[in-house]
């Protein structure tokens, strides 16, 4: 078994309010489904370490990183912007979330045919070079991508982002970076109202209209796979958001578990061909807890190359 699931110690303790959709119960829902699916028994466990500040600086303005440390409250909640709050534990949770990506990169790169899923929060793909946004403080997936490029002297990595929201932060940081290809699908027009047209030639986008089904999603993203094979990434990273699920009220796309299984298996096939099966996936959105848990199970089965059972 080659799948390892990384968790961060404080990721379940970041809790800005009971009404906030980015809630600790998301992680409990994933754990419940992993247990009842039997995957929990066959996946390896990884306890993430907190990210090093120098690795955050691979994706972010060091002054921005300093400002997040300085604004961390001793009590109560402070709001970095309307959607993104910090409690006294949030900074630690965010450091574990970003650290999980680096630890997962280490594990995946130090062997062959390895895949990792980071069940962490807060998410990251809305966090820009010097700006917190949309529940995100640090851009976990870009930190992982840049860490992999530096630590393992890689020259090409790919980021695939299938969250219902455009990963504006990821695009903001890596636009024009020839070492990183980003393939991104998202409901459009929709929050955060970016992503179409793309801002640079290393970004492949698939904007999708509200109401679209998994069939339309598959058609829209199918051009990615040849582009990925041509780019030949040495590592594939996934911003795995599950809020495009039909049961998720955050967006208006109508994907199902089968669609997450499908895209994951396609990416596994590409990874087998070009990068020894190496994939690091990190949780982004997904706010209907039942759909989130089931979709993560389908995603992990797809990454592992298993068939989706019905
Ligand atoms: Zn999202």
Per-residue pLDDT tens digits for 96-148: 999 999 999 999 999 999 999 999 999 999 999 999 999 999 999 999 999 99
pTM metric for this prediction: 0.98
Predicted local distance difference test score (pLDDT) of residue 114: 97
Q: Rounded distance, CA 3 to CA 279, Å?
A: 9
Distance 243 CA to ligand 1 centre (A): 6
DSSP code, position 136:
B
Percent of the chain with pLDDT over 70: 99
pLDDT band of residue 309 (cuts 50, 70, 90) is low
Q: Determine whether 20 is exposed, middle or buried from the number of CB atoms within 10 Å of its CB (0-12, 13-18, 19+).
A: middle
Q: Determine whether 198 is exposed, middle or buried from the number of CB atoms within 10 Å of its CB (0-12, 13-18, 19+).
A: middle
- Mean per-residue pLDDT over the chain, rounded: 97
Distance 115 CA to ligand 1 centre (A): 23
- Residue partners of 278: CB distance under 8 A and separation at least 6: 108, 109, 112, 113, 114, 115, 234, 235, 236, 271
- Assess whether pLDDT exceeds 70 at residue 85: yes
Catalytic machinery residues: 126
Average pLDDT estimate for 31-53: 96
Predicted local distance difference test score (pLDDT) of residue 41: 87
Q: 190 vs 193, 208, 250, CA distance in Å?
A: 5, 10, 11
pLDDT band of residue 76 (cuts 50, 70, 90) is very high
Distance 15 CA to ligand 1 centre (A): 18
Distance 191 CA to ligand 1 centre (A): 9
Q: Is the dihedral of CA 235, 273, 239, 171 positive or negative?
A: positive
Average pLDDT estimate for 79-87: 98
Average pLDDT estimate for 280-292: 98
Q: Which two tokens stand for residue 56?
A: 């955050």
157 strand-pairing partners? 180
- Assess whether pLDDT exceeds 60 at residue 59: yes
Predicted local distance difference test score (pLDDT) of residue 42: 87
Q: Which two tokens stand for residue 140?
A: 């976990």
Q: Is the dihedral of CA 175, 176, 179, 184 positive or negative?
A: positive
Average pLDDT estimate for 244-254: 98
Compute, in degrees rounded to 10, the torsion defined by CA atoms 294, 14, 94, 286: 20
Domains for the chain: give ranges and CATH numbers.
3-304 (3.40.800.20)
Average pLDDT estimate for 202-226: 98
Distance 181 CA to ligand 1 centre (A): 20
- Assess whether pLDDT exceeds 60 at residue 310: no
Distance 241 CA to ligand 1 centre (A): 6
Distance 287 CA to ligand 1 centre (A): 9
Distance 118 CA to ligand 1 centre (A): 16
pLDDT (tens digit, 9 = 90+) per residue, 155-206? Answer: 999 999 999 999 999 999 999 999 999 999 999 999 999 999 999 999 999 9
Distance 229 CA to ligand 1 centre (A): 27
Distance 136 CA to ligand 1 centre (A): 10
Q: Do residues 278 and 115 touch, judged by C-beta distance below 8 A? A: yes
């Amino acid at each position: 078994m080659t799948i390892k699931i990384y968790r961060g110690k404080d990721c379940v303790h970041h809790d800005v309010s009971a009404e906030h959709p980015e809630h600790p119960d998301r992680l409990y829902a994933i754990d419940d489904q992993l247990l009842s699916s039997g995957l929990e028994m066959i996946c390896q466990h990884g306890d993430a370490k907190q990210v090093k500040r120098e690795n955050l600086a691979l994706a972010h303005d060091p002054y921005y990183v300093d400002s997040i440390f300085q604004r961390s409250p001793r009590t109560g909640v402070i709001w970095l912007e309307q959607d993104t709050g910090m409690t006294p534990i949030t900074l630690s949770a965010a450091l574990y979330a970003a650290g999980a990506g680096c630890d997962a990169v280490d594990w995946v790169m130090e062997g062959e045919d390895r895949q990792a899923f980071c069940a962490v929060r807060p998410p990251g793909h809305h966090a820009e070079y010097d700006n917190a946004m949309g529940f995100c403080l640090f851009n976990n997936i870009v930190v992982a991508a840049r860490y992999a490029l530096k630590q393992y002297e890689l020259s090409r990595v790919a980021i695939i982002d299938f969250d219902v929201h455009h990963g504006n932060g990821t695009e903001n940081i890596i636009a024009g970076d020839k070492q990183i290809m980003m393939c991104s699908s998202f409901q459009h027009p929709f929050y955060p109202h970016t992503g179409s047209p793309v801002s640079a030639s290393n970004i492949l986008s698939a904007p999708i209209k509200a109401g679209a089904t998994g069939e339309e999603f598959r058609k829209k993203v199918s051009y990615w796979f040849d582009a990925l094979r041509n780019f030949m990434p040495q590592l594939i990273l996934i911003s795995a958001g599950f809020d495009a699920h039909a049961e998720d009220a955050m967006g208006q796309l109508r994907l199902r578990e089968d669609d997450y299984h499908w895209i994951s298996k396609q990416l596994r096939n590409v990874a087998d061909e070009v990068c020894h099966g190496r994939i690091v996936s990190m949780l982004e959105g997904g706010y209907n807890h039942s759909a989130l848990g089931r979709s993560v199970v389908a995603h992990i089965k797809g990454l592992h190359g298993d068939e989706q059972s019905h």
